[in-house]
């Protein structure tokens, strides 16, 4: 019997106790919306990123990876529109001193009271203040209605270059990785002799000065994006938009994620330059929320960079001799948010035949932090042979070693971090050269010759 009675508290506590994710700067009392990946967590995250790269670069037709600088020329953010419009309208509750986004207050009020046709994005700050006043919208924390006027909070982290804090040297921690792909369009196209349609992919950190509650690693001020920008001809945009919707879905399913917890959600309102946009949502313990975005951005990005940089972004089709600025179909997913998805989806509490309950992370084997753990049945008699085996296997994949406590306890620890195979070294190993390999999910055991162990594990952990 199993159930997936998962709550965010259970995930946070498992992550903390099993070396997956710790609170950022914890010994100093932490820092809001920052988290550190521990020894086990960094392996899971790296495996997710590797699977993504394999799917969207290695196996993807005509796709190229880049790793662009986080700090970019400030003109990039003028061209992208971030310097002028990337901010949130915030108001403070004077009663309980909490800070809220005015647009969210209005949106939630309208959903609750079934009011249609109110679009906060199209309202001025004065209009939003008036709406909140007229409807006496209450603070979601304390329930009172006593707000400060709206102030715009910039979402980009600013810093300055050089020794003087001079405005002309102001630079930003990038709020999205996408511009790194756009500004390298010409470089990649020329150096790789790429023909449209082609893609540029990147995995990298981005930074947003969010003050809203994070829900663990769902929303953090520093996060990692995995993005693929497909450059195509205008008439092919919808074809590729639909193709990337499918690729996005297939990728999530290939990670073993439960399809009944995934759904497409078209954007209710489109950015002014976008022709089409949707999310894939996952049913997190906090409810259905955005996991993955697919956007038809038209030729807006390259046109803006042509305008602001003065560089010609036209592509010359070598066959038809047509010249045009390519359209962009953007695919974007947060590595941290995907990690949270994978953890929530894999979490199980299983009632065993002996009446005990085990917590097990049913991670796809290629995502599991350790592919195997070597366990000497008795420390005194078997640890030397077990250590030899561990040393050999560690050359090929992440392999854990555990000799402390009963074998049952050791299995439980490995179940909790999702290790798919436990290899027990016992008297049979010393006498016959065989080990027992226990499967995490079925708990069934196979007898395997020592020389076959490496292939046994590797062949079951491929992506």
Nearest to Zn ion of 95, 107 (CB atom): 95
Residue 112 Cβ vs Zn ion, minimum distance, rounded to whole Å? 17
Residue 123 Cβ vs Zn ion, minimum distance, rounded to whole Å? 22
Residue 236 found at the interface with Zn ion (CB under 5 A): no
Task: From 29-37, 69-77, 89-97, 427-435, give the range in contact with Zn ion by CB under 5 A.
Answer: 89-97
Residue 94 Cβ vs Zn ion, minimum distance, rounded to whole Å? 8
Work out which of 95, 127, 222, 428 binds Zn ion, going by CB under 5 A.
Answer: 95
Residue 340 found at the interface with Zn ion (CB under 5 A): no
**DSSP at 237:** H
Phi, psi of 191 (to 5 degrees): -70, -30
The span from the CA of 245 to the CA of 313, in Å, is 26
Residue 101 Cβ vs Zn ion, minimum distance, rounded to whole Å? 14
H or E segment and range at residue 313: none
Residues contacting residue 309 through CB under 8 Å, at least 6 positions apart: 75, 79, 183
Per the omega criterion (within 30 degrees of 0), is the bond before 5 cis?
no
The closest of 103, 204, 220, 111 to 153, measured between CA atoms, is 103
Task: From 122-130, 136-144, 296-304, 437-445, give the range in contact with Zn ion by CB under 5 A.
Answer: 136-144
Residue 105 Cβ vs Zn ion, minimum distance, rounded to whole Å? 11
Residue 93 found at the interface with Zn ion (CB under 5 A): yes
Residue 88 Cβ vs Zn ion, minimum distance, rounded to whole Å? 18
Nearest to Zn ion of 101, 247 (CB atom): 101
The span from the CA of 171 to the CA of 176, in Å, is 14
With beta carbons less than 8 A apart as the criterion, state whether 408 and 433 touch.
no
**Ranges of H-type helices in 18-156:** 39-53, 74-80, 82-85, 102-112, 125-134
Residue 105 found at the interface with Zn ion (CB under 5 A): no
Residue 146 found at the interface with Zn ion (CB under 5 A): no
Residue 102 found at the interface with Zn ion (CB under 5 A): no
With beta carbons less than 8 A apart as the criterion, state whether 362 and 418 touch.
yes
Work out which of 115, 141, 430, 447 binds Zn ion, going by CB under 5 A.
Answer: 141
Task: From 35-43, 124-132, 135-143, 285-293, give the range in contact with Zn ion by CB under 5 A.
Answer: 135-143
Strands 170-173 and 157-160: antiparallel
Question: By the criterion CB under 5 A, which residues form the site for Zn ion?
Answer: 93, 95-96, 139, 141-142
């Amino acid at each position: 019997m199993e159930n997936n009675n998962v709550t965010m508290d259970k995930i946070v506590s498992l992550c903390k106790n099993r070396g997956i994710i710790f609170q950022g700067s914890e010994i100093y009392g932490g820092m809001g919306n920052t988290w550190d990946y521990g020894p086990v967590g960094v392996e899971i995250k790296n495996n997710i990123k590797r699977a993504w790269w394999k799917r969207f670069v290695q196996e993807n037709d005509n796709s190229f990876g880049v790793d662009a600088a986080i700090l970019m020329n400030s003109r990039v953010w003028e061209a992208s529109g971030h310097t002028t419009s990337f901010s949130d309208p915030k108001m403070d509750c004077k009663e309980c001193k909490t800070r809220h986004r005015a647009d969210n207050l209005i949106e939630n009020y309208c959903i609750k009271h079934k009011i249609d046709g109110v679009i906060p994005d199209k309202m001025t700050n004065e209009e939003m203040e008036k709406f909140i006043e007229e409807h006496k919208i209450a603070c979601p924390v304390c329930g009172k209605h006593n707000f400060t006027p709206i102030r715009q909070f910039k979402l980009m982290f600013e810093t300055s270059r050089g020794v003087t804090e001079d405005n002309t040297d102001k630079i930003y921690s990038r709020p999205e990785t996408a511009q790194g792909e756009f500004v390298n369009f010409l470089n990649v196209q020329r150096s790789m002799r790429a023909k449209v349609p082609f893609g540029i992919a990147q995995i990298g950190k981005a930074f947003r000065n969010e003050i809203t509650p994070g829900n663990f690693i769902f929303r953090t001020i520093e996060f990692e994006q995995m993005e693929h920008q497909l450059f195509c001809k205008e008439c092919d945009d919808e074809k590729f938009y639909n193709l990337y919707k499918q690729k996005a879905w297939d990728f999530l399913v290939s990670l073993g994620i439960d399809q009944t917890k995934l759904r497409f959600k078209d954007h209710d309102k489109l950015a002014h330059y976008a022709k089409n946009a949707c999310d894939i949502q996952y049913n997190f313990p906090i409810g259905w929320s955005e996991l993955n975005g697919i956007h038809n951005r038209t030729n807006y990005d390259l046109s803006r960079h042509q305008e602001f940089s003065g560089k010609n972004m036209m592509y010359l089709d070598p066959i038809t001799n047509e010249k045009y600025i390519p359209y962009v179909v953007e695919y974007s997913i947060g590595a941290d948010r995907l990690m949270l998805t994978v953890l929530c989806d894999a979490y199980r509490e299983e009632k065993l035949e002996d009446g005990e309950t085990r917590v097990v992370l049913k991670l796809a084997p290629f995502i599991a932090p350790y592919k195997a753990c070597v366990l000497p049945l008795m420390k005194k008699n078997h640890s030397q042979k077990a250590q030899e085996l561990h040393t050999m296997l560690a050359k090929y994949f992440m392999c854990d070693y555990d000799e402390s406590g009963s074998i049952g306890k050791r299995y439980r620890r490995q179940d909790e971090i999702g290790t798919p195979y436990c290899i027990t070294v016992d008297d049979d190993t010393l006498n016959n050269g065989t080990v027992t390999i226990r499967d995490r999910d079925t708990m069934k055991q196979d007898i395997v010759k020592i020389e076959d162990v490496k292939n046994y594990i590797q062949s079951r952990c491929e992506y």
